[in-house]
Chain A
Amino acid sequence: MAERPEDLNLPNAVITRIIKEAVSSSGRRMGQGRTGGQRGKQVLGQQLYSPTLFSQLPDGVNISKEARSAISRAASVFVLYATSCANNFAMKGKRKTLNASDVLSAMEEMEFQRFVTPLKEALEAYRREQKGKKEASEQKKKDKDKKTDAEEQDKSRDEDNDEDEERLEEEEQNEEEEVDN
């Protein structure tokens, strides 16, 4: 739970950067023709991203301080609104935990259908990333096992087993921490 009202604010610096990204990325990303003339210069040889951005601000647009803080507040409200919508879907499904499909359904409900495709892509990327991390840590563990096995060849079998168990426990804890973060 949030204890102070400012806990519900998002960092202005990041918000500003995200808005500016929409400004400066006009060269990198293409508006898929939806922008009607505002399409940025397309850089050859660079991958064209799917409609992550629907339209871009031209370079050098000045965003007043007041507008920036208003956008920041709007973002907080958006999170609450999305959470509430997603929670309705979770409740309909008699689940207590919000999951990815609840958030996607919420976007459609909120008339932000245009976010669904980029979000699905982000979700896939996130899953790939997690999978990669898991494989990397498993590989690490294997290497570690080999090393310790070599070192403890002369030790008794029982001790080895004990240590393995400890290591497993440690890993479980690590996983829990990852989820918390």
Chain B
Amino acid sequence: MADAVAGRDKCGEPRLVSLPLSRIRVIMKSSPEVSSINQEALVLTTKATELFVQYLATYSYRHGSGKERKALTYSDLSNTAEESETFQFLADILPKKILASKYLKMLKEKRDEDEEENDSDDGSNGDEAES
């Protein structure tokens, strides 16, 4: 099992995890409610992160559009975050890219809607005032 992970330590022995434990610990500790982490939990979280990275990459590739070109792109990842229930928690940091022109159009539509709402609000307020 140990040599399922490539990467070797100083002695040339296969290592269990490749990601730096210290960095994972920093990330874990940045969560305010966490007080202390046992070493086994740290190793497991690190290992889980490696599995996650591979799973996210392969999942996005398989469900992505770049199979003919043999490419994995950002949009494959953001699609995964949007469409897969399991990867839903990534939606905020992997937002879908849209063209600036499209965004401006969306913004304008939104503003128009808001104005309409405001108009109707005004209207109803006016009615109330009248009655």
Give how many A-B residue pairs fall within 8 Å (CB-CB): 215
- Which of A46-54, A156-164, A165-173 makes up part of the contact surface? A46-54
Contact with B along A30-51 (1 / 0, CB 8 A): 0000000010000000000110
Interface residues of A in 52-70 (CB under 8 A from B): 52-58, 60-64, 66-67, 70
Contact of A18 with B54 in the complex, beta carbons under 8 Å: yes
Hey, which chain A residues are within 8 Å of B49, CB to CB? Answer: 10, 75, 78-79, 82
- A81→B52 CA distance, assembly (Å): 12
Contact with A along B25-66 (1 / 0, CB 8 A): 011111101111111110111011111111111110110000
Known: A1-B30, A10-B23, A111-B85. A62 touches B71 (CB 8 A): yes
Contact of B31 with A80 in the complex, beta carbons under 8 Å: yes
The verdict on B86 contacting chain A, using a C-beta distance below 8 Å, is yes
Interface residues, chain A, with chain B CB atoms under 8 Å away: 1-2, 7-8, 10-11, 14-15, 17-19, 21-22, 25, 29, 38, 49-50, 52-58, 60-64, 66-67, 70-71, 73-84, 86-87, 91, 96-100, 102-104, 107, 110-112, 114-115, 118-119, 121-127, 129, 179, 181
Interface residues, chain B, with chain A CB atoms under 8 Å away: 1-2, 4-7, 16-24, 26-31, 33-41, 43-45, 47-59, 61-62, 69-74, 76-78, 81, 85-86, 89-90, 93-94
Please give me the 4 A-B residue pairs with the lowest Cβ-Cβ distance, nearest first: A22-B54, A100-B40, A103-B44, A98-B41
